[in-house]
Amino acid sequence: MAWAFDTVPSQLALIYWSYTYRDLRFRIRIRYGEQQASLTTQFEALCQTASLALGGSKTEDQEPDEDVKVPQTGAELKAMFTKMFS
């Protein structure tokens, strides 16, 4: 509950008495939706970055490069990411 109202736990008693049960539920749903949208956006960005690092294209219309080496081990994958971000 403190998370939904950006407050400390010691202030929750005041919040409980200041809002109706419906308002509390609504606020929690809104904050949860905001958090879920943010995490979904971050996950999508991670997927696109991983696709580019592994030889994908920026647009879906383009064909991926044929000379891109596909990593066979975790060490090769880590090396590809390190090379991409350095």
Structural domain boundaries of the chain? 2-56+69-85
Would you state the pLDDT for residue 37? 92
DSSP 69: P
Q: What is the pTM of this model?
A: 0.55
Q: How far is it, in rounded angstroms, from Cα 60 to Cα 23?
A: 44
Kindly give the confidence (pLDDT) of every residue in the chain, 86 residues in length, as a single tens digit, with 9 standing for 90 and above: 888 888 898 988 988 899 999 999 999 999 999 999 999 999 888 888 887 777 776 666 556 556 667 778 888 878 877 877 77
Q: How far is it, in rounded angstroms, from Cα 2 to Cα 4?
A: 5
